[in-house]
Structure 1
Amino acid sequence: MNVAVVRPLVDRLYDPADVSVVYCLLVNRVQFLREQSHQAHHQTVTVTRAILCELIAGKILRRFNEENPGRSGLLLLANVLVSGFEPFQNAPVEFAHSKKHATQWAYQKRGGYERKLTALEIAIVSESKFFLSGVACQKVVEAVYRGRVVYTPTSFIDILPDHYKHKPISLYNPRKAPLLNQYRLIVPRTRNIIEICQFAVLLALYVLAMTHRDHTTFDRYELCFCVYAGGWVLDEFASILEHGWQVHTQNLWSFLDITFIVIFTSYLLVRLHGLSTNQPEAGRQALDILSIAAPILLPRLAFSLMPENMLFISLRAMMADFIILTLLAIWCFAGFLLALKWLGHNPAYPSHPTDNPDPLTISKWMLWIWFGLDGTGIQRAPAFHFLLGPLVMILFAFLGNTLFLTVLVSSLSNTFAKLAADAPAEIAFRRAVLTFEGVKSDALFAYRPPFNVLALVLGLPLKAALSPRRFHKVNVFAVRVLNAPILLGISLFERRYLWKNTRATDPSKRSKVLAFWDLGRFGVHADLAAVFEGQPPQSVIQEIEAVDEFEDGVTSEGFLLPVPRVGEAARASEARRRRWSMVQ
């Protein structure tokens, strides 16, 4: 299949001067995936076509990487992945006008960069995990994450837009950049560290507010938490608008953030109502609502610190399956609740007691049976009907506690097994999502909570009153003043370490750094790792070169050519490069 179909298509579609072919292939994959959802008779064919598009796109990107080494090749790969393309680009004018309704989502002018999407975004939306886990793609993702490749991203909606300058895709040189470069705040690695710190502050303020809670007064701890949480919620809302709901929900902890936003909004509305009407009971209820945010905030911090942990990755996917299956079960088993309710209120049977249980009590009994906690519902079943009541309740116990829970456990086990079987691709996909979402375009992200609320209140009137150039200058000045220590630290760090090969990327260097803390070096098999830590002696290298030169002298007919002496210059061969890479 690879020789007969894939390779000829790659040879035909690959063009060193065309960086849009990968984008086009991924867009076709999205279309094939959309067709398979509503064309059941062609489902197998369309899924195969989608897989083929992803496979060809990955091989073309790999060829770009192989034929363009070095930093210039990295820049070319970045143009392939993060350059913006419009779906109707270069289409006939009459065709584009006929589909004008599909291009009305660009509400903000960006100087000709409206409605442009990148190949990386299309790969994330289509969940092209094989493509995103490729070496060439991860090379660009890593460069963008660290800030070595910089560009101005496209966005769906910016709350506080500042599009006066558009930075093209380029390699960042920290020594030629200004000392306080506000654009470094949108580098994904920097952005990720800042977001973790912001969330840690939010968690600390939440603990303080709940520790000193008083429903009768609005103390300073609760005030600080509300102000800071309001800025954090605004930042999260801007993130949703930045790249759309579909991309945002691919984030590992998006469901936790959205849940906290719902809880905080409910708490704030009830709390403000209680303060305005002077009702202490409403204040108590508001704090009770806020207290249930603790199971959300504590795991959220762990998700942020370990985004590539397979436990958290699988937990997110399993949670989605669990919610879907639970909703389906509630829908299906609601009939048992109605049956028991109507049985309990049927006056045709005089054996019914006068104190019939209400629907809430029946639901509680059914829930206990569902999870195998208590059998009160089965004991009270004759109160509904001497024959039909126990029959319905026992049937529910068989279907709910035995059949459904077995299906649920099997489904969740299957989901975890699939993720664990392809763990590297899943981790690479989450890393790509984190990187893509980390590059922000909205000027609001340059302000830390709660200053982003102040920037929104003051920035929107200034945006309407000033010219784009003047507003850009005011925005840059405010960002640099408020983030001066952070920008200075980023600049000093990147000027020394940005383009330097870190020790963490070299296993041999990392082992040397951590050798003191490695307890395994005291074990019986410590020599198995120690033998690869040092460089091979020069005599061994010369012997390897002699063997390679000997193999190069063998002709295709099996005869030997004269073998050069050790140390003489000989042409580089594929076998020598292979052996040398094994030694390294």
Structure 2
Amino acid sequence: MSRPLHPTFPSHRSLSEALRAVRSREEQETLLGDEEQADPDGCLRGDGGPRPIFVPDPHSGLPIYMTIHRIRRVILASIDDPYTTDQLKEPRMNILIVKPIVDRLYDPDDVSIIYCLLVNRVQFLREQSFQAHHQTVNITRANLCELVASKMLRRYDEEHSGRPGLLLLANILVGGFEPFQNCPSEVARENRHALAWSLQSRGGYEGKLTSLEIAIISESKYFLSGSACQKVVDAVYRGRIVYTPNSFIDILPDHYKHKPIALYDPRKAPLLNQYRLIVPRSRNIIEVCQFIILLVLYYICMTNRDHTQFTGYEICFTVYAAGWVLDEFASMLEHGWHVHTQNLWSFLDITFVVIYTLYLIIRLHGYATNNLEEGRQALDVLSIAAPILLPRLAFNLMPENMLFISLRAMMADFTALSLIAVWCFGGFLLAMKWLSMGNSSVGLGDAPDPLTISKWMLWIWFGLDGTGIQEAPSFHAILGPVLMVTYAFLGNTLFLTVLVSILSNTFSKIAADATAEIQFRRAVLTFEGVKSDALFAYRPPFNILALIILLPLKFMVSPRWFHKVNVAAVRVLNAPILLAISLYERRRLWKSKKRAPSSLMKHGKASFFNFSSFNVHGDLQAVFDTDPPQSVIDQIEEEDEIEDAILENSFAAAANKDISREISPATGTQRRRRFSSVWQG
């Protein structure tokens, strides 16, 4: 049965409904009651019964393969012409295209629709890079998938409130799905290579990806900046929602247990809960502390450097940095290169890994061969890590600063443009070298070498010195100055002008949508913070010992005993950290239900300690400290209903007038026929 083409114009939401929506978001912190049934690890029981140790996939029966191709068919039939993102968000396009697709695809019992939409977005973005003649159309289709996914997620949020609504959103965003799930047998046989991408057995969770991960790799910033998505991201970041994540490769896998997506009650969990080490907020704080230790050891090592021998400071730094590099390497394998490089400071980490690896190879080779000069060169290589480590700490402490967010994007543009310029200007270098070789007035041994010519060109490039122009006649009396002046115009004037224009455009784009950029980085930080590899539970340099000892042990004992040994080792090595996390979360992770303050607390002795009352403008804050009485709320809602009726009639009339004005009868009939064929199909 086909759905109506033109849905009724959505009624204007009253202020009281908007206020209730705001309060529902604020009440997310109070979803935990006093009497809750929880498992021994703190996960709340949805049905009140105990869960198995390894929970099977609750979404294994969803027809994801069919849904992906169904959505692709609908999107292809809906968009034939290119539109910008702003045009897709206009009310006319919302009524004609976006809203009917949302109504058609929305299913409260299917949590994989958002995943399938984002998978189609990735495919359309891939197609636009190979089909230049359909480039703008495929970009429009990709943007439509993101827009429909965002509106559908908001609809899930509006129609499901409280704890069930939060868990539903969490299952949509962080639940694992596989694109070939429940596909026909002949399709599975033809795509065996794609289905067997993971070598590690995960009890039915092999190859599962989340909607949040697909949104990150497709850079769906509009989708990730939505309030419904950020609600789940914030809950996962703070550890209110827990689940067992999927990973690409685990160096030290421990898949004995698999927890479902559930709320976490720290009061019912053990005091030393090793799973809290991979909560994104806790892990972020721990990583900052680890990096500060690395920076301090690096400073002590370099200030007490001795190339003739390994000092105690250098040994401490080398061992700790090796553990830190191992942690970074495991992070790359956890979610893949594409997701890891979306991190704000990933390029700094990768640069330090390269510098440290070069230092260690040269240093060990020099020590083995007793070559003091190689030891000196190794420490010199390590000294260039200082411009990497100090800014990295600033990136950690101010991850939402627009300067750092834009700096990452501008560095990528600057590197790409510089490589292109070096490639193009290499012809000038060859020409000048060959001219100097053919100049009879200059001896073959007196001709400047390519390194000297490159130095002169670099000085001209940055406007530091004009030696190259002065020496140009030594290449050739006429062609030498012509080449050098032409290079100066192209390099110092044209290239730098283009470079400044590109970087300014990049910064303006990021600054224009600063909120979406910041929330996108939050989502990346949250997704990367949830780890499944057991190696992340060990702090450097103990992760090196865990790799050496526990990895061979895994092949000698059963999964149950390996899990017991792993848990015991983690709790012993991280006991102070786990104790601090547990005590903090039992007080601050959830807030108690709001209670109206008594008159004694308002006007009695407690008001003496309210220092805001001594402020001249303290009443501006005090008016919001307590909720208004019910009589005031009833009066506000009564007035809003009258105004909403007037606004609804005016908006409906304006919308119908704009639609009839913008769409001709022929165009409207053609689009109606196309939509009717899609819906009935």
> Given the two structures, how large is their TM-score scaled by the length of structure 1?
0.89
1:160-215 per-residue CA deviation (whole Å, 9 max, x = no partner) reads 00001011111101111111111111100000000000000000000000000010
Q: Counterpart of 1:401?
A: 492
CA contact (8 A) 2:436 2:442 kept: no
Match of 2:249, SS?
coil
Cα distance, 1:35–1:403 mapped onto 2, change above 3 Å: same
Q: Provide the C-alpha distance between the structure 1 equivalents of 2:367 and 2:138, rounded to a whole number of angstroms.
A: 58
Q: Counterpart of 1:322?
A: 414
Partner letter of residue 372 of structure 1?
G
Q: Provide the C-alpha distance between the structure 1 equivalents of 2:270 and 2:492, rounded to a whole number of angstroms.
A: 65
Q: Counterpart of 2:210?
A: 118
| Match for residue 52 of structure 1 among 144, 167, 171 | 144
| Match for residue 221 of structure 2 among 101, 126, 129 | 129
Q: Counterpart of 2:22?
A: none
Partner letter of residue 623 of structure 2?
G
Aligned-residue offset at 1:300: 0.4
Aligned-residue offset at 1:105: 1.9
Q: Percent identity?
A: 71
| Match for residue 110 of structure 2 among 18, 32, 36 | 18
CA contact (8 A) 2:297 2:313 kept: yes
Q: Counterpart of 2:448?
A: 357
Aligned-residue offset at 1:484: 0.8
Q: Provide the C-alpha distance between the structure 2 equivalents of 1:158 and 1:555, rounded to a whole number of angstroms.
A: 55
Match of 2:486, SS?
helix
Q: How do 1:339-418 and structure 2 match up within 5 A? A: 339-347=431-439, 349-350=440-441, 355-418=446-509
Match of 2:256, SS?
coil
Partner letter of residue 127 of structure 1?
E
Cα distance, 1:74–1:217 mapped onto 2, change above 3 Å: same
Cα distance, 1:484–1:378 mapped onto 2, change above 3 Å: same
Q: Provide the C-alpha distance between the structure 1 equivalents of 2:111 and 2:634, rounded to a whole number of angstroms.
A: 40
Q: Counterpart of 2:620?
A: 531
Cα distance, 1:394–1:180 mapped onto 2, change above 3 Å: same
| Match for residue 189 of structure 1 among 275, 278, 281 | 281
Q: Counterpart of 2:185?
A: 93
Q: Counterpart of 1:246?
A: 338
CA contact (8 A) 2:331 2:340 kept: yes
Q: Which has the higher contact order (CA 8 A, sep 6+)?
A: 2
Structure 2: tracts of 5 or more residues without a match: 1-92, 595-606, 647-681
Q: Counterpart of 1:507?
A: none
Match of 1:465, SS?
coil
Aligned-residue offset at 1:532: 4.9
Partner letter of residue 150 of structure 1?
V
Aligned-residue offset at 1:103: 2.5
Q: RMSD over aligned Cα, in angstroms? A: 2.3
| Match for residue 266 of structure 1 among 342, 358, 361 | 358
Cα distance, 1:56–1:501 mapped onto 2, change above 3 Å: farther
| Match for residue 540 of structure 2 among 445, 449, 455 | 449
Q: Provide the C-alpha distance between the structure 1 equivalents of 2:530 and 2:644, rounded to a whole number of angstroms.
A: 55
Q: Provide the C-alpha distance between the structure 1 equivalents of 2:373 and 2:117, rounded to a whole number of angstroms.
A: 59
Q: Counterpart of 1:294?
A: 386
Q: Provide the C-alpha distance between the structure 2 equivalents of 1:229 and 1:262, rounded to a whole number of angstroms.
A: 12
1:1-35 per-residue CA deviation (whole Å, 9 max, x = no partner) reads 00111111111111111100000000000000000
Structure 1: tracts of 5 or more residues without a match: 504-511, 558-584
1:116-170 per-residue CA deviation (whole Å, 9 max, x = no partner) reads 0000000000000000000000000000000000001000000000001011111
Match of 1:345, SS?
helix
Partner letter of residue 116 of structure 1?
K
Aligned-residue offset at 1:502: 12
Does residue 78 (structure 1) correspond to residue 173 (structure 2)? The answer is no
Partner letter of residue 294 of structure 2?
L
Q: Counterpart of 2:119?
A: 27
1:345-384 per-residue CA deviation (whole Å, 9 max, x = no partner) reads 015x436685110000000000000000000000001110
CA contact (8 A) 1:352 1:383 kept: no
CA contact (8 A) 2:535 2:547 kept: yes
1:255-298 per-residue CA deviation (whole Å, 9 max, x = no partner) reads 00000000000000000011111111111000000000000000
Cα distance, 1:554–1:368 mapped onto 2, change above 3 Å: closer
Cα distance, 1:322–1:555 mapped onto 2, change above 3 Å: closer
Q: Counterpart of 2:588?
A: 497
CA contact (8 A) 2:461 2:491 kept: yes
CA contact (8 A) 1:352 1:384 kept: no
CA contact (8 A) 1:26 1:53 kept: yes
Does residue 284 (structure 1) correspond to residue 379 (structure 2)? The answer is no
Q: Counterpart of 1:483?
A: 574
Match of 1:87, SS?
coil
Aligned-residue offset at 1:516: 7.5
Aligned-residue offset at 1:99: 1.1
Cα distance, 1:279–1:395 mapped onto 2, change above 3 Å: same
Aligned residues: 539
Match of 2:251, SS?
coil
Partner letter of residue 226 of structure 2?
G
Q: Provide the C-alpha distance between the structure 1 equivalents of 2:135 and 2:330, rounded to a whole number of angstroms.
A: 37
> Given the two structures, how large is their TM-score scaled by the length of structure 2?
0.76
Q: Provide the C-alpha distance between the structure 1 equivalents of 2:292 and 2:489, rounded to a whole number of angstroms.
A: 46
Q: Counterpart of 1:466?
A: 557
Match of 2:555, SS?
helix
Aligned-residue offset at 1:540: 9.2
Q: Provide the C-alpha distance between the structure 2 equivalents of 1:547 and 1:535, rounded to a whole number of angstroms.
A: 16
Q: Provide the C-alpha distance between the structure 2 equivalents of 1:432 and 1:554, rounded to a whole number of angstroms.
A: 38
Q: Counterpart of 1:229?
A: 321
Aligned-residue offset at 1:460: 1.1
Q: Counterpart of 2:247?
A: 155
Partner letter of residue 426 of structure 2?
A
Q: Counterpart of 2:267?
A: 175
Q: Provide the C-alpha distance between the structure 2 equivalents of 1:218 and 1:45, rounded to a whole number of angstroms.
A: 61
Cα distance, 1:363–1:516 mapped onto 2, change above 3 Å: farther
Cα distance, 1:404–1:530 mapped onto 2, change above 3 Å: farther
| Most deviating of 545-554 and 482-491 | 545-554
Q: Counterpart of 1:108?
A: 200
Cα distance, 1:537–1:295 mapped onto 2, change above 3 Å: closer
Q: Provide the C-alpha distance between the structure 1 equivalents of 2:527 and 2:209, rounded to a whole number of angstroms.
A: 12
Q: Provide the C-alpha distance between the structure 2 equivalents of 1:317 and 1:554, rounded to a whole number of angstroms.
A: 46
Runs of 4+ in 1 over 3 A off after TM superposition: 349-354, 535-557
CA contact (8 A) 1:250 1:433 kept: yes
Partner letter of residue 478 of structure 2?
L
| Match for residue 230 of structure 2 among 127, 138, 141 | 138
Aligned-residue offset at 1:531: 2.7
Aligned-residue offset at 1:535: 3.8
